[in-house]
A and B are shown apart, each in its own frame.
Chain A
Amino acid sequence: MKRLPMTLIAGAALTGVFALAALISMVWTPYSVEGMNIAARLQAPGAAHWFGTDHFGRDILSMIMVGARTSIAVAVIAVGMGMVLGVPLGLLAAANRGGLIDEVIMRGNDLVFAFPALVIAILITAVFGPSAVNAIIAIGIFNTPVFARVTRGGALSLWTLDYIRAAEVAGKGKVRISVEHILPNIANLLIVQGTIQFSLGILAEAALSYVGLGAQPPLPSWGRMLAEAQTMISFAPHMAIIPGFAIVLTVLGLNLMGDGLRDILDPKLRRAR
């Protein structure tokens, strides 16, 4: 095996920092994110508060740590939801390629893609109320067709291979073939796509909570921290800059990791580089 690509190492390191912060925040944060101290608000980064304090006097480092947890949890569950729904749909469509089921699934896919995502997210929260769960549902819905399409695309090329045909002739059912032969062979493809969707999920969560539709207070989330910081940007810029960098670095880390993984896992694409 080839030496690990730099992108993968750098990406995994960046992502790892935030994942670690999220893990630690479950047992310990420097300060409580729920405790307010109005007298100590809007402090610039310093010795007591490495990242400063916000407009309620809360410690921003602690909020970034817990916010990482929120972001990662929402994105992981939403992408998981998209995979769990989308992969079987894609396998099913590929197994019935050219048939009615394939057509219905693919048109359904197009239909979901046709809806403006943010508008639908706003509508979902207008119906069910804003919460982290509804943000997950909204992001998950739009991940489903992505995975369905990627799965179908990967599976279609496999179905033309001789050994799959042989298995079909030997009387193996389409479901068995899909699970036993197709799925393992497209796993790499799904991992790479999953990483990309994960980073998009982080961005989507940030956008939703920025417009007030994600996790509700007092649970910190990076997007809401940015929204709250916006009017204070000219006298407390650290409040806007630090959560912004948290988002950028996490997404960057995941994207680099995705690139690196593709280089290792997808030999076809490696040739193109």
Chain B
Amino acid sequence: MLGRLKLGLAVLAMVATPALAQRADISVGLVLEPPNLDPTSGAAAAIREVTYSNIYEGLTRFGPDGSVNPGLAHDWDISEDGTVYTFHLREGVQFHDGTPLTADDVVFTLDRARDEDSTNAQKQLFAAIDTVTAVDPLTVEVTLTQPQGAFLFNMAWGDAVIMSPESVETNATNPVGTGAFRFVRWVQGDRVELERNPDYWGEAPALERATFRFISDPSAAFAAMMAGDIDAFPNFPAPETLAQFEADPRFSVIVGSTEGETILSMNHQNEALSDIRVRQAISHAINRQDIIDGAMFGYGTPIGTHFAPHNPDYLDLTDNSAHDPEAARALLAEAGHENLTLRLMLPPPTYARRGGEIVASQLRDVGIRTEITNLEWAQWLEQVFRGKDFDLTIISHTEPMDIEIYSRPDYYFQYDSAELQAIIAELDETTDPEARTELLHRAQRHISEDYVVGFLFQLAKTGVANADIEGLWENAPVPANDLTGVRWTQ
């Protein structure tokens, strides 16, 4: 009789617990669906937003602040001349299909990425590698052709995650990695489901199941959050609705930084735009705060050069291009371009489409007419980025530390300055931190004072989540949604 009572109590307890227990599943909203789930064969940020550090891991990995931490390599030695890296792999790491991780997998991954037939979208990350050899099953030696300060940083990218030759062919649709979550299924067009990897080498994540759902329409995203269909939307596509989420105690709004410098790019092959007075006039015509308020509803930090404001080496040069329509008109008159018409090509993101309309209106105030064309990404890449057939465009450059793009004369804005190229070349060879800071300052000042492009604002990462979730990344040093530290607080 007592036994039965105990059983009854136990059943009662079991029925009662779910109300008290913490939830262990999460539904994460993403704007774009990944085209496939293999980050080594496509550039789409969405692939990394699903797989990075969840399914796949690299030798090193990024922390939420952008720092480079040990990943599958728990330790490494660097030779004195900086050309030989010896990585020590963790013991007992298994891929999700049960095959153990060995040095051979690392050799395979790195050789595949730099192969002639490689379809790795960031092949330049591996350009410095000369040879990769397995010393023993848990030790890999990588020899570089020359010292590269950014090598460990490069190895943390989503494009450098370690794959097994057994599963590499099918990773696009059935990803097999070493991460804390393993792939369950992908309902194309709707969602990807992951579950906790019971054989994970590290600390087990708090979540048992994670679902990434793809909602490209901003209003649908808003409705899905409000209706509770989605628990977290790390890159929420409609900044105009954030105020409502902030006012609602059910949600928390997470505002962080990204590496995205949003600029009004100018084509230096355009006759008018090759004149610094015209570029300066455009820069003075722009009212950054109106763009940030009007397009991003206040989220974003004004920039006066191509550098992330949260970086310690950042210089605030916004005064060089302060809003001054009078000066802009005078400069245009001086340059003899009082009747200028420019084509403004806009890719799909909100910052570009809305920002573009505001920029067009501000340019009209100083007498520059614009013809706006809205382009899809594929068209933008072909016509603007590769074809260089544009006058103005708005785009956020989201790669970290990418000021060196201004030293490439064949880059799409075609800025060719021997002085800047010299600064960047010197920077590449400099390892002393103070000297590097000095060079970075010079580079920032140079492009700001030469009005290479219109510097608008640093893109903010604006996320929305259920108020009971903690551990989501606040900033976006790289595209990723690392769920290993995410948990429900009640």
- Direct A/B contact, Cβ within 8 angstroms: yes
Within 8 A of B (CB), among A202-231: 212, 216-218, 230-231
| Contact partner, B294, options A41, A126, A130, A218, Cβ 8 Å | A41
Check B373–A129 contact: CB distance below 8 A: yes
Residue ID in chain B nearest A131 by CB atoms? B373
Min C-beta distance of A225 to chain B, whole Å = 13
Does B360 reach chain A (CB closer than 8 Å)?
yes
Instruction: State A31–B251 Cα separation when bound (angstroms).
Output: 39
Check B357–A217 contact: CB distance below 8 A: yes
Residue ID in chain A nearest B294 by CB atoms? A38
| Contact partner, B357, options A126, A212, A218, Cβ 8 Å | A218
**Per DSSP, are chain A's interface residues mostly helix, strand or loop, or mixed?**
loop
Instruction: State A55–B238 Cα separation when bound (angstroms).
Output: 13
**Per DSSP, are chain B's interface residues mostly helix, strand or loop, or mixed?**
helix
Instruction: State A215–B212 Cα separation when bound (angstroms).
Output: 35
- Which bracket fits the contact residues of A? 20 to 34
Q: B372: which A residues are within 8 A, CB to CB?
A: 216-218
Check B373–A231 contact: CB distance below 8 A: no
Does A232 reach chain B (CB closer than 8 Å)?
yes
Min C-beta distance of A88 to chain B, whole Å = 35
Q: A126: which B residues are within 8 A, CB to CB?
A: 376, 379
Check B219–A129 contact: CB distance below 8 A: no
Does A160 reach chain B (CB closer than 8 Å)?
no
Given known pairs A230-B218, A234-B244, the reply for A218 and B360 (CB within 8 Å) is yes
Instruction: State A103–B244 Cα separation when bound (angstroms).
Output: 60
Does A56 reach chain B (CB closer than 8 Å)?
yes
Min C-beta distance of A242 to chain B, whole Å = 17
Check A35–B373 contact: CB distance below 8 A: no
Given known pairs A216-B373, A230-B218, A231-B240, the reply for A34 and B290 (CB within 8 Å) is no
Does A233 reach chain B (CB closer than 8 Å)?
yes
Instruction: State A55–B360 Cα separation when bound (angstroms).
Output: 15
Does B326 reach chain A (CB closer than 8 Å)?
no
Check B358–A233 contact: CB distance below 8 A: no
Given known pairs A55-B240, A130-B373, A130-B374, the reply for A233 and B361 (CB within 8 Å) is no
Does A235 reach chain B (CB closer than 8 Å)?
yes
Does B402 reach chain A (CB closer than 8 Å)?
no
Min C-beta distance of A56 to chain B, whole Å = 6
Residue ID in chain A nearest B364 by CB atoms? A34
Q: How many A-B residue pairs have CB under 8 A?
A: 62
Does A105 reach chain B (CB closer than 8 Å)?
no
Does A36 reach chain B (CB closer than 8 Å)?
yes
Min C-beta distance of B217 to chain A, whole Å = 8
| Contact partner, B244, options A35, A55, A230, A235, Cβ 8 Å | A235
Residue ID in chain A nearest B348 by CB atoms? A212
Instruction: State A129–B378 Cα separation when bound (angstroms).
Output: 12
Check A55–B294 contact: CB distance below 8 A: yes
Within 8 A of A (CB), among B236-255: 238, 240-241, 243-244
Mask: chain B, 368-408; 1 = CB below 8 Å from A; 0 = not: 00001111100100000000000000000000000000000
Given known pairs A38-B294, A130-B374, the reply for A231 and B357 (CB within 8 Å) is no
Q: Which of B226, B240, B353, B356 has the most CB of A within 10 A?
A: B240
Q: Which of B356, B357, B364, B373 has the most CB of A within 10 A?
A: B357
Min C-beta distance of B388 to chain A, whole Å = 17
Q: A235: which B residues are within 8 A, CB to CB?
A: 241, 243-244
Check B293–A38 contact: CB distance below 8 A: yes
Q: B238: which A residues are within 8 A, CB to CB?
A: 231
Q: A230: which B residues are within 8 A, CB to CB?
A: 217-219
Instruction: State A83–B179 Cα separation when bound (angstroms).
Output: 63
Instruction: State A269–B293 Cα separation when bound (angstroms).
Output: 58
Check A38–B290 contact: CB distance below 8 A: yes
Within 8 A of B (CB), among A45-87: 55-57
Given known pairs A34-B361, A129-B375, A216-B373, the reply for A56 and B294 (CB within 8 Å) is yes
Does B222 reach chain A (CB closer than 8 Å)?
yes
Q: A56: which B residues are within 8 A, CB to CB?
A: 294, 354, 357-358, 361
22 contacts between A and B (CB under 8 A): A34-B361, A34-B364, A36-B357, A36-B358, A38-B358, A41-B294, A55-B294, A55-B354, A56-B357, A56-B358, A57-B294, A126-B376, A129-B375, A130-B373, A216-B374, A218-B360, A218-B372, A230-B219, A231-B219, A232-B240, A234-B222, A234-B244
Name B's A-contacting residues (CB within 8 A).
217-219, 222, 226, 238, 240-241, 243-244, 290, 293-294, 353-354, 356-358, 360-361, 364, 372-376, 379
